[in-house]
Amino acid sequence: MTALPSLNCGGRLLPLAEPAVMGILNVTPDSFSDGGLHYAGDSRDVDRAVDAAAAMVAAGAAVIDVGGESTRPGAAPVSVEQELARVVPVIEALCARLDVVVSVDTSSAAVITAAAGAGAGLINDVRALRREGALAAAAATELPVCLMHMQATPATMQEAPHYTDVVAEVEQFFQDRIDACAEVGIHTGRLLLDPGFGFGKQLAHNVALFKALGQFAQRGLPLMVGVSRKTMIGQLLDCEVDQRVNGSVALALLAAQALYGSGGCLLRVHDVKQTVEAVQLWQAMRTTEAHNNN
């Protein structure tokens, strides 16, 4: 297999030849799984958040994704000022202490700009740069961007999601956003795509999208897969959010297998150590099999 290129994240390289793990660092009081755990309300919270990120890096995370606005179903938006106060001090502290790619999970143009200035190397936008000014702000940073599909908004997305053909509609959405990015100078070499599991989707939609990961990868762009602890796992396994680690790791591994040899795979997870170890075992078995076949 030809080695895949690395993604230049503000001067730090993110290799894509093997699945990479992104650790989730929500600095919010109300995220669905870890709300309040790393809430950046004062300097002690910043230190705690950085300590948590350091543990994820030690466990094998290649990216730390910092988010200051909850996008769980039914979540209310926060002000730009609140979001800036939550994420910028954490990003600055992370970049000062850790040698890791830092991603900012935001849709706000002001936060995109400020986070890039603080040292973030990747923009992860659940609204795919559709908020006012976000396209121009992202273009100006010259950073890679993850474009995620979401139907409606976090406050309303799970009320009655409907698709005629969810895979085809998400494919078309990706093309439309890729074209919009191209118009402002964000070329495909800076883009990742995320089908947006759980964002305006019912279980059947999520399953169909997961089965179509290989189809989405045919564009040759890296895919971000974020299924960690999500409702689809709870529905399939009949378990609450704090019991979804095993299901999360299993789906992450299935995604890694489905996307191996494509444009790259970034697994966005809460449980870094467990996911990294599962991927390492899969890689070891794959390498052993290839050796035995030679």
DSSP state of 12: E
pLDDT tens-place string over residues 3-62: 456 899 999 999 988 999 999 999 987 444 454 555 555 556 899 999 999 999 999 999
Residue 190 is among the residues annotated as catalytic for this protein: no
**Can you give the pLDDT at residue 157?**
72
Out of 72, 127, 230, 244, the active site residue is: 230
pLDDT tens-place string over residues 121-176: 999 999 999 999 999 999 999 999 999 999 977 777 788 889 999 999 999 999 99
Q: What is the mean pLDDT of residues 69-88?
A: 86
Mean pLDDT taken over the chain: 91
pLDDT tens-place string over residues 94-108: 999 999 999 999 999
Out of 201, 268, 273, 286, the active site residue is: 268
Q: Is 85 helix (H, G, I), strand (E, B) or coil?
A: helix
Q: What domains lie within the chain, and their CATH numbers? A: 18-292 (3.20.20.20)
Could you tell me the pTM of the whole model?
0.92
Residue 211 is among the residues annotated as catalytic for this protein: no
Alpha-carbon gap, residue 227 to 233, rounded angstroms: 8
Q: Is 265 helix (H, G, I), strand (E, B) or coil?
A: strand
- For the chain, the straight-line distance linking the first and the last C-alpha, in angstroms and rounded, comes to 15
Asked if residue 197 lies in contact with residue 233, where contact means CB atoms within 8 angstroms, the answer is no
Angle, in degrees to the nearest 10, between helices 166-183 and 134-141: 60
pLDDT tens-place string over residues 182-216: 999 999 999 999 999 999 999 999 999 999 999 99
By the 10 Å C-beta count (0-12 exposed, 13-18 middle, 19+ buried), 294 is classed as exposed
